[in-house]
Each structure stands twice: as structure tokens, then as C-alpha cells.
A and B are shown apart, each in its own frame.
Chain A
Amino acid sequence: MAEVPVIEVADLWLKRNGEEILEAVNLRVFAGDVFAIIGPNGGGKTTLIKVILGLIPPDRGTVRILGGLPQEKRHLLGYVPQLRTFDFHYPISVRQMILSGLLGRKTGIIKKFTAADTVLADKALATMGIAHLADRPIRDLSGGEQQRAVIARALVGDPQVLLLDEPTVFVDAPTETQFYDILKNLARSMTIVMVTHDIGVIVSHVTKVACLNRRLFTHDSRELTEDMIQGAYQCPVDIIAHGHPHRVLREHAKEE
């Protein structure tokens, strides 16, 4: 029996204001994948994430999450939205923010958080290395700490899949290294899908790579080939600016 993908996007088309945003996108993410989708700004990455989550209806094509419709299953994913869409001035403590990630699983009219919920929230904070910030208002956190808090909120319900939109935009270089270490640990217990415009993130523990610029270029492997990049970016300058991705990947492969 064939394995059911945790995320399956089939022949997806989306047009906005007369312009094609996504064209014939096919994507299959399987359990255990660490799937990176790279591509230039404006290439449709965030839009693809929103279509996967059922926030934007596609013109054509289907999306399945964990075998079901996005609206039925999306609360089972751990969604990490782009940091810049966030209102970090909202008066909420880090722990309360993490707890809100559990609301989707509660039933009944009054949704009170229990002591067990607090334990889960503190565990997620510990995983992200910010347990000591639990009682602080989110507005007092640094950019890197805020990013960790947003990921902790996604982790609190123990999701099977973590979906990250541009997770390193406001993170400095040392934090970024730590961040990928954390991600590596998480990858042992969950499937990870992330989109980014930064080719530099394609590090050793990514198992699959695709390039998105309206169309999705994928080889179902971690090899980031030159034709994928050129197909997506249509401009060799980016490759030069980021080093030669093909070779970078091969070197990482040997280290393992």
C-alpha cells in the first residue's frame, strides 16, 4: 500500500488581480520529511502556505492535509506564520500566547486552561530554550526570542507537521545557527515544511528541496540543482551571490 502524504497539493492554480500567482503546483510531503521550499520574494511561497491551510481558496486543484480537507485538519498542524504579520505590542504574556495554541483542541463553551495545559506550554517553551521568559509580556522580547515564542505556540499541541513561513527573517546569524539546531531535534519527531527566500538555509538536515516561483520545481530529493534554481529565479546572479548551491549541498552530504 502506498504511503499517504501528510501534505498533498495537486495541480494547484491561483490567479490574483489577473496575475498568475501559482501555476500547476504539485507537492507531496511525506512523514519524516524536512522539506524546504525556496524561491524569490513574490514567488508565491506565503500564498502557497495559505492555500495549504485553507485560508485562500485556489482557482483550481486540490489540497489534502493528513488525508483530509484543510478546514478539517489544519488545526492539527503546527503553523508558524511570518513574524512581520505579528502584533507584538499586544498585552499578552509569553505563556498565555503559547497556551492559545491549545484552544483549537478544546471543546465546550468555556475554554479554561488547566494545570496540565500549563505544563505543556512550559514544555514547549523549554524546547525552544525560552522557559525563563514565560511570564514576560511578548513586547519585551527580542526578535529572536519572539520567533522562538511563535514556534513554541505551534509546538504546544505536539503536531505531526510543523509548517514554517520565513522562519529566519528577523533572526541574527548566531540565533539562526541555534535555530537550525533546534529544528534538527524537532525533525526527529515531526515532519517539517518551511518556505524561505534565503538559499542559505539549505543545510545538511533538509531532506527535500523545491524551488517556487509561480511554478514549483522539485526533484523529490535534497539535491538543489542548478536548473531548479534557474527555473525558479530565472537569474543566475542569485546563485553567484549565495555561492554555488549545488556544491554546498554535496559537501554537506559527505560530512554525514
Chain B
Amino acid sequence: MLSLLSYTFFQNAVLAGILASIACGIIGTFVVIRRMVAVSGGISHAAFGGIGLGYFLGIEPLLGALGFTVGAALTMGELEHRAEQHMDTLIGAIWATGMAIGILFIYITPGFAPDLFGYLFGNILLVPQSDLLLMLVLVAIIVLTVGVLFNDLVAVTFDEEYATVINLPVERLLLILLVLIALTVVMLIQVVGIILVIALLTLPAAISRECTGRVRTMMLYAVLLGIAFTTTGIFLSAFLNIPSGATIILVSAAAYAGVLVRKHGACR
């Protein structure tokens, strides 16, 4: 089984899993403690519009996805304040609109969209070198931004009203957080696909939350759990010849269920 590691495609897959886990451990922690799971779902499905646009224009679909996720994040963040809409409503609108745009673009693009299925459900075993580079850049941006703004982001996600009273730039910080979610989603598309993104974003952080009362520790555990889940999933899928994205999610879900069944007993 370990002989798999001598293949470049397999090394790339493990590396992509590690990079994605770093991003989703850090950002997933905020998603879980600030209850932004549905927003993340909206952003990730909006990415499909960008994938479609990428096919249509003949550019890298992931770059299209990057544009759409960031655009969706900014649109939802702005509209929530400017148009006084419920986030819930905006999520529904953005979620479906993104998917619809993607479907239309793919329909009007001549020819066949070969790895469409990969974008929807992930195919980490086929991550090209160029995508690894994109992921590396995104991880660097995420780690750096959270490192610099850590105390502000904690204050805003902990108590938004109080953060406003002490005159922190609350709206801007929440927009930044949404954009960071958008970047993370793009990384995870490669690993588990648009449809399964929210599970990998939330499950490691949700398990980690059961084990610690500190944001920093929660991030660290979530990263480590993410690496464990993706690596296990990659090995299992290669070994059993089953879809990698689904395997990673099921490994994560099984671990989450295990922690819930043991009811906090495992950690304390």
C-alpha cells in the first residue's frame, strides 16, 4: 500500500490534501464557531458558475471558480448590510444562481466538458502540478491574513455588537472572513468537489471544538484532523478503487459520529 507513495500523482494528492487541510482547519474553525456553514455552502455552489465560465472562455475552470466564489462572498456580505436582507435568503439566491449560470455556460460551450464530474465531486488523485501551485498561494494568503488579523477576527466572530461598540471595522472584517471562506472553498473543490465542500470545511473543526476551549488550539487540531482524514481517504480510495472525494467525507463523518457517540469522553 505504501508503494503508492512512489507515484507522483499520489504524492501530489497527499500534498493537496495537506494544503487543503491547513486552509480548512483555520477557516473551518471560524465557520463552525460563527455558524457560517450555510454561507459556505452558498459560496461553494456559486463556484459552479465560475467553472462553467472557465469552460466557456477556455480558461482554467478553477480560476473562474475563484472569481465566482469571491464575488459571491462580497455580494452576500454587502447585500446583507446594504439591502437589509436575511443572510438565509441571500444564500438561497446565490447558491442556485451560481449553479444555474454554470449549467447554462456548459450547455452553450461546444463539445464535452471532460472533468465536470471531478469539479462536482472532487478528484484529488488527478490534481495537476499547476493546481498545487495555486493551492500553495491560497494557503499562504489565508495563513498570513488570519495571522495578522487573528485578534480582530476572534473579537468580531465572538461578539459582533461589542466589536462595533469598541469601533473595530466590523463590516470590513466580516467581508474579509467571507473572502477567506471563498479562497478555502476553491482549494477544497479540487479535493472533495463543490457538493461536498461544506463537510470537509466543518467536520474537522466540529470534532476539534469538542476537545478544546481555545480558538488557536481548535485550529491546530482541525488542521491535523483534516490531514488525517484526507490522507486516510486518499489511501482508501486508491486501494479500494472508489471515488476519493466521497471517501474522504465518509471517513470524516465516521470520525465525527464516533466523537458524538463517545460524548466528549474522548477528549477530556
B residues 153-169 with Cβ under 8 Å of A?
154-155, 157-159, 161-168
Assess whether B165 is in contact with A53, with CB atoms less than 8 Å apart: yes
The size of the chain B interface, using a CB distance under 8 A, is 25
**Is the Cβ of A100 less than 8 Å from the Cβ of B167?**
no
Is A71 in the interface zone, CB < 8 Å from B?
Answer: yes
Asked whether, in the complex, the Cβ of A93 is within 8 Å of the Cβ of B158, the reply is no
- Whether B213 lies near A93 (C-beta < 8 A) is yes
Flag the segment in A36-44, A101-109, A240-248 that touches B.
A101-109
Known contacts A86-B159, A90-B33, A90-B158; A113 and B214 CB within 8 A of each other: no
Q: Is the CB of A137 within 8 A of B213?
A: yes
Q: Would you call B2 an interface residue if the criterion is a C-beta within 8 Å of the partner chain's C-beta atoms?
A: no
On whether the beta carbons of A92 and B215 are closer than 8 Å, the reply is yes
A132: chain B residues at CB < 8 Å are none
Interface 9-residue window, one of A8-16, A73-81, A181-189, A225-233: A73-81
Distance in Å from the Cβ of B235 to the closest Cβ of chain A?
A: 31
* Closest chain A residue, CB of each to CB of B212: A91
Q: Complex formed: what's the CA distance from A112 to B168 in Å?
A: 14
Q: Are A92 and B213 in contact (CB under 8 A)?
A: yes
Query: In the docked arrangement, what's the CA distance between A100 and B163, Å?
Result: 9
In Å, the complex CA distance between A118 and B181 comes to 31
Cβ of B53 to closest chain A Cβ, rounded Å:
34
Residues B151 and A103 in contact, CB atoms below 8 Å apart: yes
**Complex formed: what's the CA distance from A112 to B149 in Å?**
9
Q: Does B223 contact A (CB under 8 A)?
A: no
B155 and A91 contacting across the interface, CB-CB below 8 Å: no
CB proximity of A6 to chain B, nearest CB, Å: 16
> Closest CB-CB distance, A45 to chain B, in whole Å?
16
Q: Mark B158-195, 1 if CB is under 8 A from A, else 0.
A: 11011111111000000000000000000000000000
Any A CB within 8 A of the CB of B125: no
A239 interface contact, C-beta 8 A: no
Contact B166 A101 (CB under 8 A): yes
B163: chain A residues within 8 A (beta carbon): 103
Residues of A within 8 A of B215 (CB): 91-92
Q: How far is the CB of B167 from chain A (nearest CB, A)?
A: 4
| CB-contacts of B119-174 with A (<8 A) | 148-149, 151-152, 154-155, 157-159, 161-168
Q: Are A92 and B168 in contact (CB under 8 A)?
A: no
A173 within 8 A of B: no
Measured between beta carbons, the chain B residues less than 8 angstroms from A96 are 154, 214
Query: How far apart sit A113 and B214, CA to CA, in the bound complex (Å)?
Result: 16
Give CA–CA (A79, B155) in the complex, Å.
15
Give complex CA distance A71, B169 in Å: 12
- Does A253 sit within 8 A of B, measured CB to CB? no
Taking the complex as formed, is A140 at the interface, i.e. its CB lies under 8 A from any CB of chain B? yes
Interface SS of A by simple majority = mixed
**Choice from B149, B164, B217 contacting A55 with Cβ under 8 Å:** B164
Closest Cβ neighbor of A111 among chain B residues? B151
**B45 CB-CB contact with A under 8 Å:** no
Contacts of A115 in B (CB 8 A): none
A1 to B93, CA, bound (A): 59
Would B161 and A104 count as touching, CB distance under 8 A?
no
When distances are taken between beta carbons in the complex, the residues of chain A under 8 Å from B27 are none
Please report which residues of chain B, range 197-247, place their CB below 8 angstroms from some CB of chain A when the two chains form the complex: 209, 212-215, 217-218
Within 8 Å of chain B (Cβ to Cβ): is A17? no
Asked if residues A100 and B155 are in contact (CB atoms below 8 Å), the reply is yes
Contact of A75 among B148, B151, B167 (CB under 8 A): B167
In the complex, which residues of chain B have a beta carbon less than 8 angstroms from the beta carbon of A99? 151
Contact of A74 among B151, B155, B167, B209 (CB under 8 A): B167
Q: Is A21 located at the chain interface by the 8 A CB criterion? A: no
- Shortest distance from the beta carbon of A115 to any chain B beta carbon, whole Å: 15
A window 116-169: CB within 8 A of B:
136-140, 153
A91 in contact with B33 given A100-B158, A111-B151, A139-B213 (CB within 8 Å): yes
* CB-nearest residue of chain B to A94: B213
What is the CB-to-nearest-CB distance from A153 to chain B, in angstroms, rounded to a whole number?
8
Contact A75 B158, CB 8 Å, known A92-B214, A109-B148, A111-B151: no
Q: Which residue of B lies closest to A80 (CB)?
A: B162
CA distance A137 to B164 in the complex (A): 23
A 27-82 contacts with B by CB, 8 A: 53, 55, 71, 74-75, 77, 79, 81
Query: A90-B33, A111-B152 are contacts. A103–B212 as well, Cβ < 8 Å?
Result: no
- The answer on a CB contact under 8 Å between B151 and A91 is no
- Seed contacts A104-B168, A112-B151; 6 additional CB < 8 Å A-B pairs: A55-B161, A55-B164, A101-B166, A113-B151, A136-B213, A140-B213
The 7 closest A-B pairs by CB, nearest first: A137-B213, A104-B166, A75-B167, A100-B155, A75-B166, A79-B165, A91-B213
- B positions within 8 Å CB-CB of A: 33, 148-149, 151-152, 154-155, 157-159, 161-168, 209, 212-215, 217-218
